Amino acid sequence: MGRKTQHILVLIQDNDHIRKAIAHAFKLASIFKAEVAFAQLPHNNKKQEFPHVLIEKLNTENIIYKEIKLGKLAIEPNNTIKQLDAIFIVTEFASSKITRFQKNETFKFLYKAPIPSILLGEQTEENCKYQNITVPVDFKRETKEKMIWASYFGRFNKAIIHLFVASHKANSAQRKIKATLIFTKRMYEQFNFEYKIEKSSRSSNWLRQDAYSFSEQYDSDLMVLLSQKNDGLLNKYFGPSEIKKYLRSKKNPILFINPLKDYYLPCN
């Protein structure tokens, strides 16, 4: 039996803000030799036509795609992800939908998903090569998951991975970061792609803020971030305020990863 075709799953929030999601989904499909599936989010009460014309216009590589419907809320998006063998979700946010106190139920789907999500905002550029990746490295054990996902862009797209490393005086934090870097070095050196280690003057608690500036300085086209283990119901209904702020103002997309999940990994 042959390998099941993998998919990029595009969650459509608003047809007025879908162009970038389409372009990024086809780029990711080209990188990972996948197909694309488009689905309207069920909480969107506004009846929208499927954007066939725009999809055809942006599908310059003639990648196979299809329109699908999500099932019952209780089993989605995981049921669709499993059926499609999806490896990434892509979704685009209108700035008006991600203000600080604006409820956005899309995040409920993203927090449930056993795969990472590519998050795009109004400032995100339509054309993205995914070849210059920024990964903040802190002392958390889950950081290794970021390293694994960043490695796929190195392996399949010859991306340069910038490891932006926190600084700590405490020996315990230093040991944890060192262990993560040793793990990463061993994994990355099995494959033929470039990675760089950059030192921050910030501790882990402040690293992400510094990493945003670093990513702009090095013209990064993807920031790899983990959701927090203590993310509560407010974040899952309204969305993490830090990420919403970033999506409103920064141009590069976010690879949003939920830690401690049994991930569906891209093919080897």
pLDDT in tens, the chain (268 residues): 356 899 999 999 989 999 999 999 999 999 999 999 999 987 655 667 899 999 999 999 999 999 999 988 889 999 999 999 999 999 999 887 776 656 677 888 898 899 999 999 999 999 999 999 999 999 988 899 999 999 999 999 999 999 999 999 889 999 999 999 999 999 999 998 999 999 998 888 888 878 888 888 878 899 999 876 555 554 554 457 788 888 888 888 999 998 754 555 565 5
132-220 — its CATH code?
3.40.50.620
How many angstroms separate the Cα of 7 from the Cα of each of 28, 36, 83, 228?
10, 5, 10, 26
Place of tokens 């506004």: 46
Task: Look up residue 99 and give its amino acid.
Answer: T
| Interior angle at CA 165, CA 162 and CA 168, nearest 5 | 175
1-126+224-268 — its CATH code?
3.40.50
3 state SS of 180 = helix
Q: What is the pLDDT of residue 27?
A: 98
Is the bond preceding residue 136 a cis peptide, omega within 30 degrees? no
User: What are the φ/ψ torsions at residue 235 (nearest 5 degrees)?
Assistant: -65, -35
Task: Look up residue 76 and give its amino acid.
Answer: E
Structure tokens at 195: 């990675």
For residues 18-50, one letter each, b for 16 or more C-beta atoms within 10 angstroms of the residue's C-beta and e for the rest, the string is bbbbbbbbbbbbbbbebbbbbbbbeeeeeeeee
Q: What is the pLDDT of residue 43?
A: 64
Query: Distance from CA of residue 137 to its chain's centroid?
Result: 16
Q: Answer whether 260's CB lies under 8 Å from 142's CB.
A: yes
- Structural domain boundaries in the chain: 1-126+224-268, 132-220
3 state SS of 236 = helix
Count of other CB atoms within 10 angstroms of residue 239? 26
Structure tokens at 223: 């920031």
Q: What is the pLDDT of residue 217?
A: 81
DSSP, res 97: G
Q: What is the pLDDT of residue 1?
A: 38
Structure tokens at 221: 């086209």
Residue 174: burial class (beta carbons within 10 Å; 0-12, 13-18, 19+): middle
Q: Give the global pTM.
A: 0.91
